[in-house]
Chain A
Amino acid sequence: MIPSEAPPAAVAADPGRRPGRALPILAGSLALIALAPRGARAQEAVGADPLTDAQVIARVTRSIDRGLAYLARQQLPDGSWHRNNAVNSVALLAFLGRGHTPGRGPYREVLARGRGFLVRAQKDENGYISFSTMYEHGMATLALAELYGMDPDPDVEQALRRAVKLIVGTQNRAGGWRYNPAPNDADLSVTIMQVVALRAANNAEIPVPEETINKAISYVKSCFRDKGFAYQVGGALTPQMTAAGCLALQLLGRYDDPELSVALESLAKYPVEWKAGSIQYFYYFHYYAIQALYQGGGRRWNEWNPKIRELLLEKQDTDGSWEVPPGTAEGAGTVGPNRVYWTAMGCLVLEIYMHFLPAYQR
């Protein structure tokens, strides 16, 4: 089914769809990487002390804190950041991912207002927390699941249980989810958001039927082809969907599936760069890629994490926010150019080093 309205670009403008110029751009990018110097970190390191764990923590923490300060300044009086609950949810998750929990610390008011907005945004009739698509609902459910247990407000628990019920009830026969809260069609991009939300809820001991999990596994695996994952069954594989598919299998407990190791190997080969290339949805891709590679661990993680970390640290603006790489697809769409979304996603990528969000524990 084709949705009646275009999905929000920043979150979901079909990041699985393959850009037409992907191959030439990828080739060009690889050539540039081969010729390029190793970057500021490497240059600084000649004869200098190696970057220790403590220094990595300090640099990442400073960067995230600047990002969160920017987000706090952008929050609207009603507790939202945007008329899109995916944006509102990633902003909330960015605070939680840094270890700021309800009722404590410098952002207690920000969290309380943000939580209140999400709970109020839930529709009474069906528990849907979205102004448009299931993208929003999945992300909002994830935020509520992470809040649950740390926030004594009983409304959070109530809202979360209803949100989970809606996700379980809207899974289609193939095991996936699509834009609308109805069990009709499916794509991997929307599906992964529901999978992460269900995993977080399940980790909080909210029961999720085993049948739902098994069908989701089946759907994710059906999107695998060649060396990665496609947006929909039979489609072309894309870097965004390869990252999302890997994480989906990991969160669903399929660590030993042969598809996973193949897809992780191909995922680790994508370039980490600040420009329009093979990665059209920069933040979407890196949000899933770093989680998937962390879950995979080992050599791929060791090689990947310093590259994206240094890139984000280098590209952060002086006010603590992040831009989007020029020419990439997250610069437009229904949520439009949106520094809140980019900044929250930048923080969430860096927060992998914190290991605080329970949903993403290995």
Chain B
Amino acid sequence: MLDWLLSRLGLDGTFLEHWDRVRVGFQSPSALAAGLILLAPVAWWMARRQARNLAVASPRVRRTLLALRVAVLLLLILVLAGPVARLDMIEERKPLLAIVLDHSRSMSLPAGPFADAAEAGRFAAFLGDRPVEDVSREALALAALRAKSGTLFDELRRRYEVRGFAASAGLSAWDVAEFPEPAREAGDASKLGDAIAEIIESAGGREVGGIVLLSDGQVTDGISLADASRRASEARAPVIPVAPGGSARTRDVALVDTFAPAEVSKGDTVPISATIESQGFDGRAVKIRLLEGDAVLDIKEVVLDAAEQQQVELRYRADVPGFHTLRVEIPSPEGEPPALRANNADLVAVRVSDEKLKVLHVEGMPRWDMRFLKNAMRRDHGLKGRTGEVPELILEAEARRSGGLPDGLPRDPDALAEYHTVVLGDASPALLDDRFLSALEIAVRERGLGLIVEAGTQHMPHRYGPQLRDLLPVRLEGDLAGYPAPAVEPFRLELTPDGSVHEATRFYDDPTRNREIWANLPEYYWCAAVVRAGPAATVLVRNPAVATDYGSLPLIAHHYAGKGRVLFVGTDSTWLWRRYVGERFFAKFWGQAIRFVARREAEPDKKGSLEVRPLRAKPGERVQIDLRAFDAEGKPLEAAGAPIRILRGEPPASVDSLTAERDPRTPGRFAAVFSPDRPGDYRAVADGGKGSPLEARFRVLETSEELRRPNINRNALGQLAAATGGRLIEPDQLDSIAELAKGEPRKIPLHREATIWDNGFVLGLLALLYCLDVAIRRMTGLS
């Protein structure tokens, strides 16, 4: 009853819980004192008036009426004084400790093999009768947790608020009182990075004492572990990974990476790189094959070595223009577990083009980006100059030496519009004068010339006026010559969601892999002073270290300027992307960027193309189908839709028919989405015009990425732990969580105050007193 009454007065559970410590006071004690002092003479005055005006009423009625009026006045005085309930106490706040169980498909793989009997024996201690060889990673993790549920977790709960989560494609709550097997089926994806980020975010600023991650460390989707570790580190939350299995590696041969240039020219012979990891087959020679359909295009022999990843370059001769899906495969050696054969093959896509884009490259000084880009463009047989067979380069430094401006720089729109793409480096306004800029603006806006502007410390673009700046997809901070990074804290790159699937910044089809690669590209020390992206611009890459009023700094962005596309590169250090891999990412970015912005032109003989992304999908995943179709005269097809058939298996059987919808912005382009429901080799078939069928292949694999690297990724888990102040531990070392987790319950002085007059109860009391007064007067005939 008391609780009900107090809650009606507006006091919440905290007051009720600590009722013995609650004190009542007034916000304005002086108003109370003054009111009470005045009340006595006012009551005396009212009594005198009633005695005179209500002489016919009995003294009892007059006293009652007086009492009611005094009560009303008293109530009003109390309300004016502002009565409050006050609670002063010490609250204990515990840090959060998250126990995260990786519930993805790869956790159902065996916990073994083990390095030796001693290691297996350590785990057998808490497995009971079950032979350790037969236990899955998840079962081992659960058994280890259950073995400690009484002792360790009682202690942890004393210090922390312990919450459980099961993580796979999403994060769900998990009961850590009993450590049951998670109710949901194991997931087809591992988004461990997302799980860590979500836990930190949901803590809402509250201290996270630790994140215990029982996982094999395989991440197939979402935020990379590198990104997640940065977020955990910023939140000062140590991640304590628990490796649920032996330290020995599974006997397996895996194709862990394949890489191909995105676009090559007809007649080129290009390398298709394959990275192989193996274990247990040292000295065994295997033949890596490159196939298109059933045709074997190249074979390279490799002698397997477990010590280090091995790189193989297969050769692909690009003879037929179009979109080609190539398959790289390693025959499964005898002794490889059948469950792990899915990682012996991979698909790569190569677009073979017979077009040659005309490119002009203008630069101020021979900075390193120019020196590498110059050669990358010369090697790219899909690029040429307006007159020569290699892209034209105009270097201001050489022109200056000869005492004038270079002859080759076109200064009228017609000449500029002969190019498909112009790349402007750190050239000065003396070279890129008003006449050139006027011509450039017309060529871009009206003729569709593609433009790439790469920023530089000397001139670009801070020394230019609105004529050039208005063409750019970013807005700049006055004439500031860029932002230098602190010597000990260089900048890094962060791919945006748009950038992770954009054709200019796509190193891999898989957005997760792409984000991971970008996040791990080398740090750099300078970027242009960009304030924000322009209206309708798309930001592909950001510099998260520089915050402007509009968010983190846009580093690479593009937009349409009239008919032309303009891409801005806000750093002069793309040469750093060559670290360890040489041309791989540097040349791919620039090749894709030059082609992305390039002027489009009507090509009567152009053939259609059909592309499918991703080439490797999981059941239920959305597969994007992109068709470019032309009619018999070579003009872009103008139909409202284009039929696409989906075939599966060998011989191919039709499984679905789709209608690709026309893209209103790009004539001749049609797009469709297909969600495969089961694994298999698929083909999308369409009519590309002129009666020629187009075909693109893709593969749907059950948990393909989950099993690509079947071993526990101790390196990734170790790095995650090291970056966040945690430590990688084994299942029999769970006791060390108590030492590794940080933070203790904190005593926080808590002062709370709640008004107790502003509620229905007081209002009701006031109304009741007034009604009584009126009723008595009516009943006694006084009014």
Query: Which B72-88 residues sit within 8 Å CB-CB of chain A?
Result: none
Q: Is A356's CB within 8 Å of the partner chain B?
A: yes
Q: List 16 A-B contacts (CB under 8 A).
A: A47-B247, A49-B711, A50-B278, A52-B715, A54-B520, A56-B308, A104-B485, A104-B525, A105-B487, A105-B525, A108-B487, A203-B366, A204-B371, A354-B579, A358-B372, A361-B375
Query: Which B688-722 residues sit within 8 Å CB-CB of chain A?
Result: 711, 713-715
The number of residue pairs between A and B whose CB atoms lie closer than 8 Å in the complex comes to 116
Q: Which of A54, A55, A99, A302 contacts B576 (CB 8 A)?
A: A99
Across the interface, do B368 and A105 meet the contact criterion of CB distance under 8 Å? no
Residue of B with least CB distance to A362: B582
The residues of B with any CB-CB pair to A shorter than 8 Å are: 115, 247-249, 275, 277-279, 306-311, 313, 365-368, 370-372, 375, 393, 395, 397-398, 401, 457-458, 484-485, 487-488, 490, 520, 522, 525-526, 575-576, 578-583, 711, 713-715
Cα distance, A306 to B309, chains bound together (Å) = 11
Residue of B with least CB distance to A55: B715
Enumerate the 5 nearest inter-chain pairs by beta-carbon distance, A residue then B residue, closest first.
Answer: A45-B307, A149-B366, A104-B525, A204-B366, A358-B371
Residue of B with least CB distance to A52: B309
Across the interface, do A51 and B309 meet the contact criterion of CB distance under 8 Å? yes
> 12 additional contacts, CB 8 Å, given A49-B713, A148-B365, A152-B458?
A50-B278, A51-B307, A51-B308, A101-B368, A101-B525, A149-B397, A161-B401, A205-B366, A206-B398, A354-B579, A355-B581, A358-B372
Across the interface, do A49 and B715 meet the contact criterion of CB distance under 8 Å? yes
Neighbouring A residues of B487 by C-beta, 8 Å: 104-106, 108
Q: Is A150's CB within 8 Å of the partner chain B?
A: yes
Q: Which of A47, A106, A354 contacts B578 (CB 8 A)?
A: A354
Across the interface, do B580 and A56 meet the contact criterion of CB distance under 8 Å? yes
Neighbouring A residues of B247 by C-beta, 8 Å: 47-48
How near does chain A come to B714, taking the closest CB pair, in angstroms?
A: 6
Q: Is A53's CB within 8 Å of the partner chain B?
A: yes
Cα distance, A56 to B714, chains bound together (Å) = 16
Cα distance, A137 to B579, chains bound together (Å) = 29
Cα distance, A357 to B195, chains bound together (Å) = 40
Cα distance, A24 to B372, chains bound together (Å) = 44
How near does chain B come to A359, taking the closest CB pair, in angstroms?
A: 9
Cα distance, A354 to B581, chains bound together (Å) = 8
Cα distance, A316 to B484, chains bound together (Å) = 33
Cα distance, A85 to B368, chains bound together (Å) = 23
How near does chain A come to B15, taking the closest CB pair, in angstroms?
A: 56
Neighbouring A residues of B307 by C-beta, 8 Å: 41-42, 45, 50-51
Neighbouring B residues of A56 by C-beta, 8 Å: 308, 580
Q: How many residues of A contact B (CB 8 A)?
A: 43
Q: Is A353's CB within 8 Å of the partner chain B?
A: yes
Q: Is A6's CB within 8 Å of the partner chain B?
A: no
Query: Which A93-122 residues sit within 8 Å CB-CB of chain B?
Result: 99, 101, 103-106, 108
Neighbouring A residues of B249 by C-beta, 8 Å: 47-49
Q: Is A298's CB within 8 Å of the partner chain B?
A: yes
Residue of B with least CB distance to A294: B582
Across the interface, do B366 and A105 meet the contact criterion of CB distance under 8 Å? no
Cα distance, A268 to B711, chains bound together (Å) = 34
Across the interface, do B488 and A361 meet the contact criterion of CB distance under 8 Å? no
Neighbouring B residues of A207 by C-beta, 8 Å: 398
How near does chain A come to B41, taking the closest CB pair, in angstroms?
A: 83
Q: Is A332's CB within 8 Å of the partner chain B?
A: no
Cα distance, A260 to B231, chains bound together (Å) = 51
Q: Which of A52, A105, A298 contacts B490 (CB 8 A)?
A: A105
Residue of B with least CB distance to A58: B719
Across the interface, do A355 and B579 meet the contact criterion of CB distance under 8 Å? yes
Neighbouring B residues of A105 by C-beta, 8 Å: 487, 490, 525
Cα distance, A53 to B714, chains bound together (Å) = 15
Across the interface, do A47 and B115 meet the contact criterion of CB distance under 8 Å? yes
Question: Given the known A-B contacts A105-B490, A361-B372, are A53 and B579 also in contact in the complex, defined by CB atoms under 8 Å?
Answer: no
Residue of A with least CB distance to B278: A50
Neighbouring B residues of A262 by C-beta, 8 Å: none
Across the interface, do A53 and B275 meet the contact criterion of CB distance under 8 Å? yes
Neighbouring A residues of B278 by C-beta, 8 Å: 50
Neighbouring A residues of B488 by C-beta, 8 Å: 106
Across the interface, do B313 and A50 meet the contact criterion of CB distance under 8 Å? no
Residue of A with least CB distance to B458: A152
Cα distance, A101 to B371, chains bound together (Å) = 15
In the complex, per-residue mask of A46-77: 1 if CB is within 8 Å of any chain B CB, else 0: 01111111111100000000000000000000
Neighbouring A residues of B401 by C-beta, 8 Å: 161
Across the interface, do A306 and B308 meet the contact criterion of CB distance under 8 Å? yes
Across the interface, do A150 and B368 meet the contact criterion of CB distance under 8 Å? yes
Q: Is A157's CB within 8 Å of the partner chain B?
A: yes
Query: Which A161-195 residues sit within 8 Å CB-CB of chain B?
Result: 161
Question: Given the known A-B contacts A49-B249, A355-B579, are A149 and B306 also in contact in the complex, defined by CB atoms under 8 Å?
Answer: no
Cα distance, A66 to B375, chains bound together (Å) = 32
Query: Which A14-58 residues sit within 8 Å CB-CB of chain B?
Result: 41-42, 45, 47-57
Residue of B with least CB distance to A42: B307
Neighbouring A residues of B306 by C-beta, 8 Å: 45, 50
Residue of A with least CB distance to B254: A50
How near does chain B come to A354, taking the closest CB pair, in angstroms?
A: 5
Residue of A with least CB distance to B367: A149
Across the interface, do B368 and A358 meet the contact criterion of CB distance under 8 Å? yes
Neighbouring B residues of A48 by C-beta, 8 Å: 247, 249
Residue of A with least CB distance to B487: A106
How near does chain B come to A202, taking the closest CB pair, in angstroms?
A: 10
Question: Given the known A-B contacts A105-B490, A355-B582, A356-B579, are A53 and B310 also in contact in the complex, defined by CB atoms under 8 Å?
Answer: no
Q: Which of B372, B397, B582 contacts A205 (CB 8 A)?
A: B397
Cα distance, A57 to B279, chains bound together (Å) = 22
Cα distance, A57 to B247, chains bound together (Å) = 23
Residue of A with least CB distance to B520: A54
Across the interface, do B368 and A149 meet the contact criterion of CB distance under 8 Å? yes
Across the interface, do B279 and A149 meet the contact criterion of CB distance under 8 Å? no
Query: Which A202-238 residues sit within 8 Å CB-CB of chain B?
Result: 203-207
Neighbouring A residues of B397 by C-beta, 8 Å: 149, 157, 205
